[in-house]
Structure 1
Amino acid sequence: MNSLLQAPLMSGLLFLSVSLAKVIMEPKYGSICGGTWITLTLDGLSVNESELNVALVNPVLPTVLCDIEPLSFHLPVIKCQTRSAHLEGLYHPQLNGLTAHVPSQLRCDDCAFQFSIKHTPVLYHVDPPCGVPGNVIQIYGQILASKYETYDFDVDFIDGPVILKADGWITICSLADKQKRSMYPIQTSHGLGTLRCRVEGNYIGSHNVSFSVSNKGRSLVDKDAWLISAKEQLFLYQTFPEIFSVSPPAGSLGGGMLVTITGDFFDTPATVTIAGTPCPINYVSPQMITCTAGAAGENRRPNGPQPARVVCDGGVFISPIFGDMLATPNDFTQVVVAVNDIPANCSGSCTFQYLLESTPLVSNLDYSVDDAVHMLIHLVGSGLAADLKSLLVEVNQQDCKVLVSNHSNALCRMPLLPAGLYTVTVLVRPYGLAVNASGGADIFLRIVPILTAIEPPVASEIGGLPVILTGSGFDGIKLVLFGLQPCPVNANTSNATIIECTLPVRRGEDHTVHVMVVSEHGSTLFANAFTYDSSLNPVITSLSRNSTSIVGGQTLDIGISSFANYAGFDVKVIIGESVVEIQEQTHHGLSVALPSLTRGLYNLSVFLNNIPLGTKGMEPFIQYSTEAFGMEPCCGSLLVQL
């Protein structure tokens, strides 16, 4: 025996005698794809289980491991299965963990193994290229076998001569027809032939397929056998789910109806689309999916032909297989279910129609205030529900409790909402969501402030007094205008139904003015809602004096009606054209220091917030005159000129 063959085999061996220990190795050839079971018969050697391993080595090629079958280490036979070598080559065994019974010189008869393309089974074609789990498929290739090993029909094998692999998932393809308790036939001619098997399990996806031949190993895939999936993955066989029925067959253009799909081999992750529109899934079981249909999108084709899925996932095939070109035209929109991105085959009725006749419509929507905290919403339309439980109304994603409903009218009650524009959803079971009868799917409710009263409704031109607006929809009101003048809002006393603000002075406008409230959602105008009445202005009722010296300096008390209501207001007193210094303000009027003026009769004016006050029962004039306080001499003769 030459040293080249002997050195690998002796690795890890301990020789204790001159007795001869030997190893017998079978078979001599196998598949380059691995899977060949090699039998090593040991004579005069014992096994150390914890250290035992087998490798096949070549001086210039990578080492190939041979996985040991852990069944009976105590027997003088070791079985291991080769891994893939990828290339042809002659290899020799390297054994670790063997101990000779006595010192010896190890002998190995023909201890070499050839990875050979000639002895490699080849897969050329899988027919059909796709189907549901449980289908029988036919594999054409270089079979290198014409009969099966012994098969126990009462045992479910976890491994087998034909397997499908997908994303770490292994599926057995059974060579046995268990119902007939017979094997599917093998047909061969000069090494080429076909074998049939049934795809077990329920995995949905794109699979690689391989088969193993006893004493030969695992199959090689011919390059022309590969297909390309829609996810751009290579595969040989694809399993898909199946659709039997879709219920209901029609529904609202607005979507929202619960769609039930029956079939087989449904699983997660799954997706459902109807006419290209996603249908969010509520529930998935192997035989049923329920989802909530979306609204009919722009890409729907309710009247044009739609392809109905019959084979594969729409990938491009390298081989001349037509794939989706075998799809049949359908005049109605299709429900498409995909599991692991693999669309389901439709073996029953998979159509669904978005129909105007099945669509509830809302033609008018208004509201009113019910009490201090609630509002009533009135809907008018067609196709609404007579049964209160079949109608669900939401405004701004808040439930509006339905009080009354028939096919054309409905009334619901909910908490008051601030002013703004809100989306309304009206679900009529089982038909789906209502749409806007005037066009478009969306239904909106605009909440605007409602003014029921202003207290007081009439006030003086002076302004400055608090006014209270009552109504609804006042949330978020930041600005109130009386005419063109802002009425500062008291945020501490204002809420959704009340606004308190400080009345502005009238500025050259009409006495009756509009009131406007402004929020982030826009403005609302209440026409001619408030009146300024000059007759309610304070008036000058008295003057403590009507004349004074041209020297001035005297105090003048001015009586003013209701002056206590205007404490702190901007006050100005003018005599003639001179602005008078105000010395004191009381609840009853003003005290001012009269200025020095030339002799004459002067008009007195009082302004509150730049509004001139009128008079009542008196004339607002001050007489300025010259006064004599003494004369020298005090007396003289009548006859003499003094």
Structure 2
Amino acid sequence: MSFGGFRRQVEIAAEPRFRGTGLNLCLGSFWPGIFSFCIEMDVHNTSIPEELVLITASQGGSAMFIVLAPRSCNTKMLLCFALLSLLVGCASGQVTDVSPYWLGEGGGQTLYVSGKGFSPDQFNHFDSNLGNVVRLVNEADTIPCDIINYLTNTERIVCAVRGRENSKAPLAYVVKVFADGVEVESDKIVEFRSWISPIINGIDPVSAMVGSMVTINGYMHTDRYQRMDPEDPLETDFQSGRILTKLYMGGRDCLVYNETSNEPYGYLTDRMVSCIPTSSYGGPMNATAYVTDRGSSVHSKGTIRVDPQDRLYQHLAFPGILSISPSNGGSTGGTLLTINGVGFDPNPGTSEVKVGGAVCEIEEVTDNVIRYIS
């Protein structure tokens, strides 16, 4: 039978007097206008008891479903049993392999799930039961694995594992797969370990003016860096092995290489990486690194601080004044002054300027300019 790109066969095994005979039945269009299929039934000599008929549904030579039907059934009833076994066989599937076995607690690793019977439809925008769903499950926790659609087919699912947030849950998880809402047979297990992920031990300096270079200390598992092209990540020609591909400070890119000289700004080793944050705002920041085959980074204990507003951070970036013009004005005030600097907050009501203790009227605020009247 040809069904959705698969080759399936239903066999009816009967008593010896049927040996050498066969039947081919075309059922026509199962869903009109989409596709049609045929059931091919061959009768074989077998030791099945005379009271029963054996019906099996198979895919690629592997039995997927077996049913014993009473021999007293008429031809139409036997065909119903055959069709039932066929439909159940179409819905069945199995996970045969999962790689890698070890996962980092920071998440971000790519998980490859091999098997059969996965959904050919990778998109479920209108029905959450459609497509493939992968979850890592144990008695205390469930971790989603986000499907990477363009790499997934009916025999392989590729997904990105999210981070493990429940530190009290067991480290071992069963990989559960659902294809079009039906759970696929799976007994495969993965385990999380902190030593798999890149580890960040601290940032030097702890505080600095916005835009200042920082050095991230820890263990990256690699001393090689290759930035992914954010405009076309699929076209990025990656090197082989473990590569540092993303480095963030405060949720924004932290530049490792000088784009003019194409040289690193500072350290680039497996223990230390220097970079310049691109965030234009001051405030608390945390670092995140992503390494191929190792996923997203985790923070070692004792590296997180708390600011007066109870915000967690590893590095504190503060605004800075670079120049003020004009350098003089009238003693009665009324002079329009311009402050050039970094890390200013353009949101209304968040900035204040005082000259000689007197509050000034602010005319304009951008990331790097404040204009005010003295």
Taking structure 1 as the reference length, the TM-score comes to: 0.36
Q: C-alpha distance in 2, partners of 1:198/1:204?
A: 14
Q: Is the 8 A contact 1:33 1:219 kept in 2?
A: yes
CA shift in 2, pair 1:16/1:251, >3 Å = same
Task: Return the offset for 1:114.
Answer: 0.9
Q: C-alpha distance in 1, partners of 2:232/2:279?
A: 12
Q: Is the 8 A contact 2:337 2:373 kept in 1?
A: yes
Partner residue of 1:142?
219
CA-to-partner distance for each residue in 1:585-629, whole Å, 9 max, x for gaps? xxxxxxxxxxxxxxxxxxxxxxxxxxxxxxxxxxxxxxxxxxxxx
Aligned: 1:55 with 2:129? no
For residue 281 of structure 1, the aligned residue among 340, 362, 366 is: 362
SS where residue 16 of structure 1 aligns?
A: helix
Residue identity matched to 1:37: T
Partner residue of 2:144?
65
Aligned: 1:272 with 2:272? no
Task: Return the offset for 1:125.
Answer: 1.0
Q: Is the 8 A contact 1:153 1:176 kept in 2?
A: no
For residue 161 of structure 1, the aligned residue among 220, 243, 246 is: 246
CA shift in 2, pair 1:202/1:124, >3 Å = same
SS where residue 150 of structure 2 aligns?
A: coil
**1:158-557 to 2 correspondence within 5 Å?**
161-165=246-250, 170-182=251-263, 186-188=268-270, 193-251=271-329, 255-269=333-347, 270-293=351-374
Q: Is the 8 A contact 1:259 1:290 kept in 2?
A: yes
Q: C-alpha distance in 1, partners of 2:88/2:212?
A: 57
Q: Is the 8 A contact 2:280 2:367 kept in 1?
A: no
Q: C-alpha distance in 1, partners of 2:107/2:315?
A: 21
Q: Which runs of 5+ in 1 are unaligned?
A: 1-13, 294-642
For residue 199 of structure 2, the aligned residue among 79, 99, 122 is: 122
RMSD value over aligned CA atoms? 3.5
Q: C-alpha distance in 2, partners of 1:202/1:156?
A: 25
Partner residue of 1:81?
160
Q: Is the 8 A contact 2:227 2:245 kept in 1?
A: no
Q: Is the 8 A contact 1:121 1:218 kept in 2?
A: yes
* Count of residue pairs the alignment pairs up: 263
Partner residue of 2:37?
none
Q: Which runs of 5+ in 2 are unaligned?
A: 1-86, 125-129, 234-243
Partner residue of 2:41?
none
Q: Is the 8 A contact 1:160 1:173 kept in 2?
A: no
CA-to-partner distance for each residue in 1:320-342, whole Å, 9 max, x for gaps? xxxxxxxxxxxxxxxxxxxxxxx
Q: Is the 8 A contact 2:289 2:296 kept in 1?
A: yes
Q: Is the 8 A contact 2:284 2:313 kept in 1?
A: yes
Task: Return the offset for 1:99.
Answer: 9.4
Q: Is the 8 A contact 1:160 1:172 kept in 2?
A: no
Partner residue of 1:38?
111
Partner residue of 1:25?
98
Residue identity matched to 1:231: Q
Q: Is the 8 A contact 1:47 1:98 kept in 2?
A: no
CA shift in 2, pair 1:221/1:275, >3 Å = farther
CA shift in 2, pair 1:164/1:287, >3 Å = closer
Aligned: 1:92 with 2:170? no
Task: Return the offset for 1:91.
Answer: 0.4
CA shift in 2, pair 1:182/1:152, >3 Å = farther
CA-to-partner distance for each residue in 1:471-498, whole Å, 9 max, x for gaps? xxxxxxxxxxxxxxxxxxxxxxxxxxxx
Residue identity matched to 2:325: S
Task: Return the offset for 1:182.
Answer: 4.7
Task: Return the offset for 1:195.
Answer: 1.7
Partner residue of 1:609?
none
Q: C-alpha distance in 2, partners of 1:279/1:19?
A: 73
CA-to-partner distance for each residue in 1:330-369, whole Å, 9 max, x for gaps? xxxxxxxxxxxxxxxxxxxxxxxxxxxxxxxxxxxxxxxx
Residue identity matched to 2:179: G
CA-to-partner distance for each residue in 1:522-545, whole Å, 9 max, x for gaps? xxxxxxxxxxxxxxxxxxxxxxxx
Q: C-alpha distance in 2, partners of 1:20/1:258?
A: 74
CA-to-partner distance for each residue in 1:534-579, whole Å, 9 max, x for gaps? xxxxxxxxxxxxxxxxxxxxxxxxxxxxxxxxxxxxxxxxxxxxxx
Residue identity matched to 1:235: Y
CA shift in 2, pair 1:16/1:75, >3 Å = closer
Residue identity matched to 1:57: V
Q: C-alpha distance in 2, partners of 1:72/1:276?
A: 63
SS where residue 225 of structure 1 aligns?
A: coil
Greater relative CO, 1 or 2 (CA 8 Å, sep 6+): 2
Q: Is the 8 A contact 1:162 1:212 kept in 2?
A: yes
Runs of 4+ in 1 over 6 A off after TM superposition: 17-20
Q: C-alpha distance in 2, partners of 1:29/1:207?
A: 29
SS where residue 96 of structure 1 aligns?
A: strand
CA shift in 2, pair 1:161/1:152, >3 Å = closer
Residue identity matched to 1:128: P
Task: Return the offset for 1:268.
Answer: 0.8
**1:620-631 to 2 correspondence within 5 Å?**
none
Taking structure 2 as the reference length, the TM-score comes to: 0.59
CA-to-partner distance for each residue in 1:241-296, whole Å, 9 max, x for gaps? 43222233345565443222123454413322334432221112344321122xxx
Task: Return the offset for 1:201.
Answer: 4.1
Residue identity matched to 1:117: S
Partner residue of 1:311?
none
Q: Is the 8 A contact 1:124 1:225 kept in 2?
A: yes
CA shift in 2, pair 1:78/1:275, >3 Å = farther
CA-to-partner distance for each residue in 1:124-169, whole Å, 9 max, x for gaps? 1111233455443211013233434x54679687x9522233xxxx
CA shift in 2, pair 1:152/1:179, >3 Å = farther
CA shift in 2, pair 1:202/1:56, >3 Å = same
CA shift in 2, pair 1:62/1:230, >3 Å = same
Residue identity matched to 1:288: V
Q: C-alpha distance in 2, partners of 1:136/1:238?
A: 12
